[in-house]
Structure 1
Amino acid sequence: MDLMNSIASSAMSMSAAQLAQNYSMAVTKKAMDVEELALKELTEMLPPSPYNFDVYA
């Protein structure tokens, strides 16, 4: 019976670790999306540059 409890306990621990990792990854992705949106909004708020660059390849 101890072996079965040990296996079940290990499976639950692995499942909890997987859930925590998936949650952490989802939160990180959401934070990156929010930062990307904030950066886009910030660049739209910047005034246009008075300098023009002509670049020829």
Structure 2
Amino acid sequence: MDIALMSIALSQGQVQQQASLSVMNKVMDQAQVNVDFINKMMTGADVKAIQHAAQPHLGGNIDINV
């Protein structure tokens, strides 16, 4: 194989590796954002808001029999 072709192949491999690492870093950053959001939503008073969002039909009516 010609040295120029080997150099091109090596460069293409390096570009592909850099692109893969870049995509992986973006995925990891988004995962951290998701974790931060979930942690924020699970604190204190936000738990009731999550429960209501998950089951909005519960707690809206009271049945009273006398």
TM-score, length basis structure 1: 0.75
Identity in percent: 11
Q: Secondary structure at the match of 1:37?
A: helix
Large movers: runs of 4+ above 4 Å: none
Structure 1, unaligned runs of 5 or more? 49-57
Structure 2, unaligned runs of 5 or more? 46-66
Q: Secondary structure at the match of 1:8?
A: helix
Structure with the bigger percentage of helix: 1
What is the identity, as a one-letter code, of the residue corresponding to 1:20? Q
Q: Which residue is 1:37 aligned to? A: 34
TM-score, length basis structure 2: 0.65
Specify which structure has the bigger relative contact order, considering alpha-carbon pairs within 8 angstroms and separated by 6 or more residues. 2
Count of aligned pairs between the two proteins: 45
Structure of higher CA gyration radius: 2
Q: Which residue is 1:47 aligned to? A: 44
